Chain A
Amino acid sequence: METPDQLLDRLLAAKAARRESLAALDYAGKVRIVLRLQRMTASIYALRGKVVRIWDIDEQTLRPRSDASLNRR
């Protein structure tokens, strides 16, 4: 039977492997994850009174989602 220490070692190893596989993604794949992380964390920041701006770009094309007037006044 697995001891608590063995269980912890196994979980930490799995976590490290997960980080390694994320680090090995191509840059565009990582940017897509950043977009999701922005959406996930923005509401948490808002609860703390911090205003953050989520990038309004398409997750597939990584280009602006709507009209180009976003760029300029």
Chain B
Amino acid sequence: MKSTIEVLNRLQADGVLGLYAIGGAMAALFYSEPVATFDLDIFVVGPLYDQLRARGYEIDRESVLIEAVPVQFLPAYNALVEEALTAARDVQFDDVPTRVMGVEHLIAIAIQTGRDKDRDRVRHLLRAAGLDRNFLAQICARHTLPLPIVN
């Protein structure tokens, strides 16, 4: 996975990939306990599958295999996701720099998406250390989302 992020950073340096951020379960992993997941969700601005195909990457069911990790590139599909992408945090994965969506935005996206697994994610992330509940409330208000109830 470190190699995968290095490739993403190289694609960004080459101008193939613009601003990106890790989202989904692998982003939630930064803030909560591990859960089984099989994809690395990368949120991006604009389409890039054609450019990746041109560079020889194997595309299988909308995932691109990069350094043995299936990466799903997802466009910033609405205002909330765009905001999450822009506000993502710079982090280090060991010595490799990358960007990950903030926990408050991950919760808001999970509320908006609303599948069973998203509701589970909300429950897990609400217990995350460092969660800024005021910031979460602001995001939810801005995007007309219900504020999750904390048990």
Interface positions of A (Cβ within 8 A of B):
19-20, 22-25, 27-28, 30-31, 33-34, 37-38, 40-41, 52-57, 61-65, 68, 70-73
Contact = CB atoms under 8 A, between A and B. Distances in A.
B30 A70 contact: no
B34 A34 contact: yes
13 contacts: A20-B127, A22-B33, A23-B33, A31-B34, A37-B34, A38-B38, A52-B38, A61-B2, A62-B3, A62-B94, A64-B68, A71-B65, A72-B57
Contact of B93 (A28, A55, A61): A28
Interface residues of B, number: 32
Contact of A30 (B29, B38, B67): B29
The 8 closest A-B pairs by CB, nearest first: A22-B33, A37-B36, A33-B34, A64-B68, A72-B56, A56-B68, A30-B34, A23-B33
A55 B60 CA distance: 14
Given A22-B33, A30-B29, A72-B58, A54 B38 contact: yes
A71 B93 CA distance: 20
A22 B67 contact: no
A30 to B, nearest CB: 5
Interface of B: 1-3, 7, 26, 29-38, 56-58, 60, 63, 65-70, 91, 93-94, 127-129
Contacts of B38: 38, 52-55
Contacts of A64: 3, 67-68
Given A28-B94, A37-B34, A55-B68, A62 B1 contact: yes
Nearest to A64: B68
A53 B35 contact: no
B93 A27 contact: yes
